[in-house]
Chain A
Amino acid sequence: MYAWKCWRESRARFIFLLMMFTATAFLFTLQPGLEVRNGWWYFDRSEYTRDPATLVHVVSLMVLTGLLTSGFLSAVFLGATASGSEIEPRTIEYLWTRPRTRTSVTWTHWGVCVAEMVIVAIVPTYLAAVILGTLTRNWNLSLLLVAPWMMVIVGLPMLGLTTLMTALRRSASGGLITTTAVVSVYMIVRQLVTVPMHLNLPPLFAGPVIWLMNDYQPYAVAFPWGSLGRAVFLAAAFPLAAQYLLKRAEV
């Protein structure tokens, strides 16, 4: 029932994000065939059969860019929505006087968000893959098939960070703003220290993204085990920290 509540509370944002990224992926996929003739939009399918391999690669990279944005946005917005509104003062009294442990509340919310993130990543990407494969008759779409799963793994730390920040701030909007601030500050600091101090802080998404973007040369870049391992570690560490905070919290 609590899972239903999380879904009910986050469904508006989930549907909005799903529609937005599906429409974006749809547009990216159909854009090569669209042209204007005499003031009217026409769809020219021959564009897809002229050089299908290159077209698949270019469209895949465009979809991948959209996927990056969707991963970040869905992690932050969904993460803040489902937990935030009820760990704010007042509604927290209601939630924490139901016979459910705070641990189960934290992880149920996390699980619902992960399911929603997977759907937001998979549906637009696989839809683009099906359209692209049908139009080009080139079904070598490994990039599009692998990418959403990798991006979900990369997005999980962001979801965890949002959960943690929301728990820290005890506010949905506070969690969202703080997560965005933490990520922005990290990226700025990383830029500032890299050159003058010769420090190389780990980038947030670079490993998997670079690997995915070199899809047509699979051995040019090593598989990003390090980035994915770090993502998995943070994906577990942040919600665990949030769980600890909430278990210790008083109302």
Chain B
Amino acid sequence: MSDAAILTEGFSKSFGARAAVSELNLRIQPGAVYGFLGRNGAGKTTTMRMLLGLVRPTKGSARVLGLDPTHETDLMRILERVGFVPQCKQLYGWATPAELVRMNKAYFPRWSDEAAAQLAQRLEIPMKTAFKKLSVGNQSKVALLLALAQGAEVLILDEPTAGLDPVMVDEILRTLIEDHVSQGRTIFVSSHHLGEVEQICDWVGILEEGHLLLESRLEEIRQEFRLVIASGEGLPAVSSTDVVSATADGRFRRYVVAREAERFAAELRSQGATILEISPLGLRELFLHLVRKEDPCTPGNAGAKAAPVSSFS
């Protein structure tokens, strides 16, 4: 038994020759809010599905609340204790949210009617309209309600706010923070909205083509991570274990450095480089640098601030 809420070791999944997830090692502590980021097709949904027994891993192992999702008996105990909101929030079209609540209540021993009623009111869900007649936003809200009211110890949310308006997104994030984060529940959430992730998460993992590029505390990213832009001849591709990524274009090189950026810059200077910029990185900038190396200069990106930087792309 492991003390991590979610633990994966060498977790991999291939569909034919294509590797969707490769050697994934995650360790999510109980009470953590872990943002799982990546581009479309990076392997986030596949990972979540493997953790819930919907897809069998090709290699490696996983534990959710200390239980093995590939064993049916363990899986049933996992599903009792884990709430899941899938990317595609499609439930029985004929059922009203009230009927769905009644059905779910029977499945989960820790179901809270009170929480369900509060959420329904707070999220303004029409409880007596058939699911298929609800707007996409309301369908997402119903899926969230069902996951949140089941009293789960771990919530696995695959793009939970997709299709919701900003007011509802804010309401849901506040609900997550107030009702779940404050109670020490673990949340494993994937989202393309990095602002949302920054709002609620304390850990982030960035996945690209099935590989975990980075796993770090969000606070550490804010305080420690820096973008170092240097120019010069024969600069090293990577000269330190602290360098998370390095991209080059001619004489210029951009380094994302995890810690001690000044020391790293001094090293580069000693090799004859000119340091053009050392700037802090937000989550969005870091994400873009890691997953979109060929064209990192987009509005809002740190790289777009200085003119010479655009020449790196």
| Residues in A lying within 8 Å of B, measured CB to CB | 1, 4-5, 8-9, 85-86, 90-91, 93-94, 96-101, 250-251
Contacts and interface: CB of A to CB of B under 8 A. Distances in A.
A1 B103 contact: yes
Interface stretch (B26-34, B35-43, B84-92, B182-190): B84-92
Interface in B66-100: 72, 76-77, 79-80, 82, 84, 86, 88, 90-95, 99
- Describe A's contact surface by its main secondary structure: loop
Contact of A93 (B76, B86, B92, B104): B86
Nearest to A1: B106
Contacts of B106: 1
A98 B91 CA distance: 12
A99 B80 contact: yes
B54 A99 contact: no
A93 B107 CA distance: 15
A7 B94 CA distance: 12
A94 B53 CA distance: 12
Contacts of A99: 76-77, 79-80, 107-108
Contacts of B76: 99-101
Interface of B: 49, 52-56, 72, 76-77, 79-80, 82, 84, 86, 88, 90-95, 99, 102-104, 106-108
Contacts of A91: 90-92
A24 to B, nearest CB: 28
A96 B53 CA distance: 8
A65 B90 CA distance: 41
Given A250-B54, A251-B55, A90 B90 contact: yes
A86 B108 CA distance: 20
B16 to A, nearest CB: 13
A250 B15 CA distance: 11
A251 B95 contact: no
A101 B53 CA distance: 11
B49 A251 contact: yes
A101 B107 contact: no
